[in-house]
Amino acid sequence: MSAFFLAFLGALLASVGARDQVLVATMRDHLGGHAGLLVVAWLVAIGSAIVAAVAGFWIGTLLPAPAKIMFVAIALLLSGAELAWPRRADLPREPTRSLGAIALVLTGHVLTDAARFLILAVAAALAAPALAAAGGALGGGVALTLGWIAGSDLARHRYLRLIRVGIAVVLGILGIVVGLGARGIV
């Protein structure tokens, strides 16, 4: 059950102010609160969590135990780097109002974001891809739902960048501690 909770918390926290959450928030206002956008967001969250968990489980089967711990450390560091990386301030525009186009862009955003790195790491380390996928899908879906509820005001929130950098620092410290632990230094 720890795989579920770790993936849930990781996906939820790493998705705060992420590109996918901001895209859904912005598109909500452009589409007039269309519920189809929320359905698409959940489908993308579920699909990407499954892909990340299966990939993590597959990688985990190839690695010996110490390497799995180092893999988790690397995933934490990459997640922190992705969260700290400054993103462009321009908000997306969707002239066609197409949910299919939004789904493609949203999928492109989530496949390499911090939340999916964390789901990948949980599935690799704990060998529980179903629980990691379920927790990651729920965490990502909740984050996207919160973005949908907030609307475009989310993208203009003053403290969003500060929150993301704070989470990045925590993930970076965790990555360093886990990595040092894997090497037997801590």
The residue extents of the domains of the chain are 2-182
Residue 95 confidence (pLDDT):
60
Q: Residues 6 or more apart from 51 whose CB is under 8 A from it? A: 111, 116
Residues 134-172 pLDDT 10s: 999 999 999 999 999 988 777 777 788 889 999 999 999
Q: Could you tell me the CA-to-CA distances from 112 to 16, 150, 152, 181 in Å, in that order? A: 15, 24, 23, 26
- Band (7; pLDDT cuts 50, 70, 90): very high
* 3 state SS of 61: helix
- Residue % of the chain over a pLDDT of 70: 94
Q: What is the pTM of this model?
A: 0.89
Mean pLDDT score across all residues of the chain: 88
Residues 33-54 pLDDT 10s: 778 899 999 999 999 999 999 9
Q: Residues 6 or more apart from 156 whose CB is under 8 A from it? A: none
* 3 state SS of 37: helix
Q: Above 80 in pLDDT, residue 131?
A: yes
CB 48 within 8 A of CB 116: yes
